[in-house]
Structure 1
Amino acid sequence: MRFHTASPAPRVVTPPRSRLRRFMPSLIHAAVACGLLSLAASASAQVNGVGQKPYLGWSSFSQQTLDSAFLTQANMIKQSDALKASGLQAHGYTYINLDSGWQGGFDANGRPTPDPTTFPDIKAMIDHIHANGQKAGIYWIPGVEQPAVQANSPILGTPQHITDILAVPYRAGNAFGAPGTSPYHYKIDFSKPGAQEYMDSVVALFASWGVDFIKLDGVTPGSYSDDLSIDNRDDVAAWSKAIAKTGRPIWLTVSWQVDKDYQDVWTTYANGRRIDDDVECEGRCATLTNWPRIEKRFRDLPAWQETSGPKTGWNDLDTLDIGDGDLDGLSLDEKRSAMTIWAMANAPLYLGGDLTKLDETGKRLATNDEVLAVDQSGKPARQVLGGDLNVWVSDLGNGRYYLALTNMNATTTVARLPWNLVGLTGTRRMRDLWNHQELGPSVGEHEVVLPPHGTQLMLVEALPGHVAPTPTTSYEAEQGVLSGNAASYACPGCSNDNKVGGLGLGANNTVSIEGVYAPQSGAYLMQIDSLTLGLRSYLYQVNDGPFRTFNSGGSSFQLPSSSTVPVCLQKGLNRIRFGNAVSYPPDLDRIVISGRGDARLPSGTTYEAEAATLGGSVTAGFSNYSSGLAKAGNIGGGSANNVTFTNVTVPYAGVYQLEIDYLTQGPRSFFLSINGAGAKELSLNGSSFDDPVAKVLEVPLHAGQNTLQFSNPSGNAPDLDRIVVTPRVLPAVLGVSTQACKKDLH
């Protein structure tokens, strides 16, 4: 979301329970039959030589969030020169993209023109960018802005004027437009004469300046708007046709967080589409970005992973802020993990910040040619395991794979990956792409110690051989036991044309899938096919065991997204109940259980604060970036206002890592008591009540159940998202089996 007028408030509001709307899988064909769209013209826009691989470059917007006066012609020239001098360009970084704020008025034909104060000669600036061997990008929006509407300018080369092409009654022309008939951004009706010609004239103007890239922002359906009275699908087609008419190879990206229900339009008419909202904090934290906003990409990407490629365009994860030191808001390991998921997704890699201040660490990360080769492979990865240990695999053919393992927790963890999980018997070669090291062969299982939010990215060559098929059983949600507000809804994109919605916001609004069979007690894999727009979370229970968390994301309530997590089942029949007592879960299509009871569990266990015992005035409620989509607040100001975890269960007595995910703006303290011992003060700090921050301690725990209480007898405590308990990673622990399912089954 990047615009300079009438921008909506940041989306931290409560999302609707469900969004059911007409599914339109044949949209393109219907539009062509009506004469509205031209597949031949749009194909030229996608395959005109610019969209065969994701682009690399830089965008102005991240720095604009820190410095509102940054977007000037002089600064863009400095960024272009810095890109060339930095050495990044030699590794493929060539795009210099201007975001929102360059425009200052309109010409005699209603076309946007630069602000003469900040961009006195935009063509000269673009000529300078080209002379540096780079490409120039620009930002605009669908529809027509109010000043051009009021001027009612003639459309170049036609007898029509601007008001002749507007939709009637007047309404918003994009997601930034206001409601009503004076929306500031006005909708174009592309069935009217002159409408396509107006778009042709705008794109021709950009082309005359030498523009190589256009970002079309505020596109709907999407951008947090499902108002089909706006509906920019025809705008996107018109821009694509206009690009083709220029004969110039111009990359087209549609933004922001477009709706997957209409993926046929985005994949046909654009080279890239933003599948997420802004990665920048934009004043909601003290840095450019932070880990919760990176983690969101891991959660949203599975919904889009099958849509990406040279023929369909690329999934855009937004700016990669890794070159500004501490200002980025990410640790070194978090920066590696961010670039890893961007690369595995084959997403465009465009840096943010100020390139004149690019730090050496960021430069080293951004210029790792082995990692850049992953991004440019044209083989986007698929997620094979979600949850605490994310596993992504890209099949390069001929027994070669890119493989990424990422620790989603802030504790150090031992990650164990059975090769049969990714369809291999073992590997004859493994190469660590971040460290440029050969790791040798591996049979049966791969094991690695991952630092907090850390990643391992490898090129592997498989051993010959085939993995025996794994038993799988599918269970439809609508055939489960529906309680409270839970109900079955039609869902043409779902496995049985139905799904369950109305879950959550109450302990009784659940779906229980009965009769989940396991031949023996142990750990299995559970594929969860869910549907959501944005972040949502289940808290689920196996039989009457403890709550476990499934944090998901997505871009559709009609097309399910699949993610797989380990789950503990007892021998015989089991019940798995899905809900969320205090916040919003996704809709549920089905689950698929696979395995023989020998799957690996993550080494850490999560306990949600909202599911703990809340004392006194403590309340639980919605929190968009928190695990479980909820947190506990109003802690402290009295000893009774506390959060107590009564069932923190560990297999043996000893010292464990305790991750505390908290939220605060400014300094606050928890007093932590373990098993009734004297409370110790934890002085914490933060810059946001929206985004959790992790603090990791080492604490002694008893074998079996433990009680941990968070309070503050006199002052205000931070809000509390969750805790994660993980064994200390010591050499003696390596090779020992991960925690058993025993505590979940009894």
Structure 2
Amino acid sequence: MRAVLAALLLACTCLTVPAAVSADSAVSADPTVSFSDNGLSIRPAMGWSSWSFVRRWPDEAKMRAQADALVSSGLAAKGYVHVNLDDFFQKCDANGFVVDSFGRWAVDTAKFPSGIKALADYVHAKGLKFGFYVTPGIARNAVTANRPIEGTSYHAQDIADTTQTHKNYNCKNMYRLDHAHPGTQAFINSWANQMASWGVDYLKIDGVDATTVADVEAWDRALRQTGRPINFALSNNLPIAQAATWRRLANSWRTQGDVECYCGPGPNGSGFPLTDWAHVVSRFNSAASWQQYAGPGGWNDYDSLQIGNGDQVGLTADQRRSHMTHWAMAASPLLLGTDLTALTSVDLAILRNDRLIAVNQDGVAAQRIVNSGVNQVWRKREANGDYVIALYNTGTSGNSTVSVTWSQAGFTGPAAVTNLWSGASEGTVTSSYSATLRPGETRLIRARPNVQRYEAEGATISQGTVDSNHAGFSGTGFVNYTNVTGSYVEFTVNATAAGTATLTLRHANGTTADRPMTITTGDTTLTLGFPGTGAWTTWANATFTLPLTAGANTVRATATTDGGGPNVDYLDVTPP
């Protein structure tokens, strides 16, 4: 599996998503809005979190048992490597959180007698990563006792705004911070440094909303200054109006409230069932709205994956497969919420399906292209030109026939279809696909068009820029060659078999001068002229043939004059 994930990481250098193809589709990720540059979560995180099943009663033994099960079940080998301790590890009194000598939450030693570092060390020894939890602000007890801020002359009362409190789901009593005071950043830094010293690899900050941007910014700075790579996750039900801000600061962000139904028989709705179909289906509209904000380094988080304990989690087997399909298609973090010590064989087959994991880890969030009653269809285009398409019957009664045309999905012509749940080939399908689905059932397919498209903006560019100022281009832009000899665009073209391929380079030349280029692959070089097309918005096709080998091929289009090359939009390849 490591080899598969490595290949996916390499593939992301040429990843593109077509423009929306229906009124319901979201546009592809806005390239002008930056992602967090902390270098983490290039692909969605995978692992387990304590909240759904363990809920308010985590302890050292339970956390170790879940880490053990993550490894023994084979899930860790598939990429599920995070073990995240959520809320209720802290100690509280009548005034809120008990704090340490520097005003930070104190760990409940009755639950964690060996301490958090020892637990993190245990998790790390198994080849896994350890996650932790916090909410914004400073505890009332820290302010009442006026605890010093570690490494400074400041104290808690210097940085607390006692006129306002923050949202907190456990001990409450969290005052807001005065972010204009230098002691505030020092306080958050000290907390982040403590977590780093314990070995924290993932931090969830809960209770985030539109009023807490300054807190998120402070925690982002604090985590960076530790020098330890810590995946930064935000929760929950974040407003989409600030989506660009969350994307700039964090590696994931919860788009809604909890997926748990809180309808179990235990205290506070704990116990089975963990969720229900209505809570899962509510993520479909959310995913359609948030799709454009996901990409390498930052992901829309649709909450825990409630698969593992069979029907008792509150979902039928069909609904659980749809749950997994949707999280995979949406490129959501895959953080299990179930009891890993009691996994069923049916659910293990769902969770360990390499084809589904690859869909989640391909770095593309799918777009919705059909939304009609209980019928939904979603699609994404992967870096190699394949289209992954999910068809759903979201209803709770009655079969429904769900259909999609290839033009709706973003391509035309016949395609080789593979069923990704079973791995079986469904042969070549000419122009559309249909499936009659039970209530809650899904069909997930990979469609490999006979013509594969490689967008120029996703290729390797030397002496050129990606621009979007001339209309009519495909994808998110086109390549504007620098006006020098030797400027080039280089595509990585995949072929399943060796032979002669037909290639079409879409281009525009708004001048009257020819802009010739050499087209090279392997030992073959062609020299082609690219005369004026009449305007920069008038696109033309240059079609030629080249020999390809099985596997990855490098196709480079290099300018041979000081005028550079024409603007290049994409390369279409009809493989051997």
Query: Is 1:240 matched with 2:220?
Result: yes
Question: Aligned partner of 2:152: which letter?
Answer: T
Query: Is 1:298 matched with 2:284?
Result: yes
- Tell me how far 1:445 sits from its aligned partner: 2.0
Question: How far apart, in 2, do the equivalents of 1:262 and 1:399 lie?
Answer: 32
2:427 aligned counterpart, secondary structure: coil
Write out per-residue CA displacement over residues 655-702 of structure 1, whole angstroms, 9 at most, x where no aligned residue: xxxxxxxxxxxxxxxxxxxxxxxxxxxxxxxxxxxxxxxxxxxxxxxx
Query: Is 1:436 matched with 2:436?
Result: no
> Aligned runs of 1:532-611 on 2, under 5 Å?
none
The answer for the alignment partner of 1:91 in structure 2 is: 78
Contact 1:408 1:453 in 2 (8 A): yes
Question: Aligned partner of 1:393: which letter?
Answer: R
Question: Aligned partner of 1:152: which letter?
Answer: N
Query: Is 1:189 matched with 2:169?
Result: no
| TM-aligned CA distance change 1:109 to 1:398, over 3 Å | closer
The answer for the alignment partner of 1:57 in structure 2 is: 47
2:196 aligned counterpart, secondary structure: helix
1:208 aligned counterpart, secondary structure: helix
Question: How far apart, in 1, do the equivalents of 2:383 and 2:128 lie?
Answer: 33
Contact 1:418 1:446 in 2 (8 A): yes
- Tell me how far 1:427 sits from its aligned partner: 3.2
2:185 aligned counterpart, secondary structure: helix
Contact 1:174 1:220 in 2 (8 A): no
Number of residue equivalences: 407
Write out per-residue CA displacement over residues 232-261 of structure 1, whole angstroms, 9 at most, x where no aligned residue: 100001001001001101011110010111
- Tell me how far 1:355 sits from its aligned partner: 0.9
Question: How far apart, in 1, do the equivalents of 2:170 and 2:50 lie?
Answer: 23
> Aligned runs of 1:263-282 on 2, under 5 Å?
263-282=243-262
Question: How far apart, in 1, do the equivalents of 2:407 and 2:435 lie?
Answer: 17
The one of 103, 106, 124 equivalent to 1:110 is: 103
Query: Is 1:73 matched with 2:63?
Result: no
1:96 aligned counterpart, secondary structure: strand
- Tell me how far 1:135 sits from its aligned partner: 0.4
Contact 1:431 1:458 in 2 (8 A): yes
- Tell me how far 1:193 sits from its aligned partner: 2.0
Question: Aligned partner of 2:64: which letter?
Answer: I
Question: Aligned partner of 1:298: which letter?
Answer: F
Query: Is 1:202 matched with 2:191?
Result: yes
Question: How far apart, in 1, do the equivalents of 2:83 and 2:259 lie?
Answer: 18
1:448 aligned counterpart, secondary structure: strand
The answer for the alignment partner of 1:729 in structure 2 is: none
The one of 403, 407, 419 equivalent to 2:389 is: 403
Question: How far apart, in 2, do the equivalents of 1:254 and 1:384 lie?
Answer: 28
The answer for the alignment partner of 2:206 in structure 1 is: 217
TM-score (norm 1): 0.53
The one of 100, 105, 128 equivalent to 1:134 is: 128
Question: Aligned partner of 1:430: which letter?
Answer: V
> Aligned runs of 1:609-624 on 2, under 5 Å?
none
Write out per-residue CA displacement over residues 415-442 of structure 1, whole angstroms, 9 at most, x where no aligned residue: 2222222232243211111011111111
Question: How far apart, in 2, do the equivalents of 1:431 and 1:200 lie?
Answer: 50
Contact 2:385 2:452 in 1 (8 A): no
- Tell me how far 1:74 sits from its aligned partner: 1.1
The one of 313, 324, 332 equivalent to 1:347 is: 332
The answer for the alignment partner of 1:365 in structure 2 is: 350
Question: Aligned partner of 1:276: which letter?
Answer: Q
Contact 2:375 2:400 in 1 (8 A): no
2:244 aligned counterpart, secondary structure: helix
Question: Aligned partner of 1:207: which letter?
Answer: A
Contact 2:251 2:299 in 1 (8 A): yes
Write out per-residue CA displacement over residues 360-403 of structure 1, whole angstroms, 9 at most, x where no aligned residue: 11111011000000000011111111232111111114531111
- Tell me how far 1:463 sits from its aligned partner: 3.7
- Tell me how far 1:450 sits from its aligned partner: 1.2
Question: Aligned partner of 2:75: which letter?
Answer: L
Question: Aligned partner of 1:295: which letter?
Answer: V
Question: How far apart, in 2, do the equivalents of 1:54 and 1:405 lie?
Answer: 22
> Aligned runs of 1:506-517 on 2, under 5 Å?
none
Question: How far apart, in 2, do the equivalents of 1:205 and 1:319 lie?
Answer: 27
| TM-aligned CA distance change 1:465 to 1:296, over 3 Å | same
2:436 aligned counterpart, secondary structure: strand
Question: Aligned partner of 1:368: which letter?
Answer: N
Question: How far apart, in 1, do the equivalents of 2:416 and 2:54 lie?
Answer: 44
Question: Aligned partner of 1:218: which letter?
Answer: G
Question: How far apart, in 1, do the equivalents of 2:178 and 2:239 lie?
Answer: 21
Contact 1:176 1:185 in 2 (8 A): no
The one of 346, 359, 363 equivalent to 1:374 is: 359
Question: Aligned partner of 1:303: which letter?
Answer: S
Question: Aligned partner of 1:404: which letter?
Answer: A
| TM-aligned CA distance change 1:401 to 1:465, over 3 Å | closer
Contact 2:75 2:351 in 1 (8 A): yes
Question: How far apart, in 2, do the equivalents of 1:175 and 1:426 lie?
Answer: 54
- Tell me how far 1:464 sits from its aligned partner: 3.7
Question: How far apart, in 2, do the equivalents of 1:101 and 1:465 lie?
Answer: 51
| TM-aligned CA distance change 1:427 to 1:398, over 3 Å | farther
| TM-aligned CA distance change 1:449 to 1:106, over 3 Å | same
The answer for the alignment partner of 2:148 in structure 1 is: 154
2:127 aligned counterpart, secondary structure: coil
Write out per-residue CA displacement over residues 549-603 of structure 1, whole angstroms, 9 at most, x where no aligned residue: xxxxxxxxxxxxxxxxxxxxxxxxxxxxxxxxxxxxxxxxxxxxxxxxxxxxxxx
Question: Aligned partner of 1:381: which letter?
Answer: A
Question: How far apart, in 2, do the equivalents of 1:110 and 1:97 lie?
Answer: 23
Contact 1:425 1:463 in 2 (8 A): no
Contact 1:424 1:463 in 2 (8 A): no
Write out per-residue CA displacement over residues 444-477 of structure 1, whole angstroms, 9 at most, x where no aligned residue: 32121212111111111124499xxxxxxxxxxx
Write out per-residue CA displacement over residues 320-361 of structure 1, whole angstroms, 9 at most, x where no aligned residue: 111011221111110010011100111100111211111111
2:163 aligned counterpart, secondary structure: coil
Question: How far apart, in 2, do the equivalents of 1:318 and 1:426 lie?
Answer: 37
The one of 437, 445, 449 equivalent to 2:432 is: 445
Query: Is 1:316 matched with 2:301?
Result: yes
- Tell me how far 1:130 sits from its aligned partner: 0.3
Question: How far apart, in 1, do the equivalents of 2:163 and 2:170 lie?
Answer: 11
- Tell me how far 1:111 sits from its aligned partner: 1.1
- Tell me how far 1:213 sits from its aligned partner: 0.6
Question: How far apart, in 2, do the equivalents of 1:270 and 1:293 lie?
Answer: 25
Write out per-residue CA displacement over residues 18-50 of structure 1, whole angstroms, 9 at most, x where no aligned residue: xxxxxxxxxx99xxxxxxxxx9xxx8xx34443
The answer for the alignment partner of 2:470 in structure 1 is: none
Q: Which structure 2 residue ranges, 5 or more long, are not aligned?
A: 1-31, 92-97, 454-576
Question: How far apart, in 2, do the equivalents of 1:301 and 1:465 lie?
Answer: 27
Question: How far apart, in 1, do the equivalents of 2:383 and 2:196 lie?
Answer: 39
- Tell me how far 1:177 sits from its aligned partner: 10
Write out per-residue CA displacement over residues 128-177 of structure 1, whole angstroms, 9 at most, x where no aligned residue: 0000000000111001122222121010111111111123x610223659
Question: How far apart, in 2, do the equivalents of 1:249 and 1:275 lie?
Answer: 24
| TM-aligned CA distance change 1:267 to 1:217, over 3 Å | same
TM-score (norm 2): 0.68
Contact 1:177 1:185 in 2 (8 A): no
Question: How far apart, in 1, do the equivalents of 2:451 and 2:39 lie?
Answer: 38
Question: Aligned partner of 1:283: which letter?
Answer: C
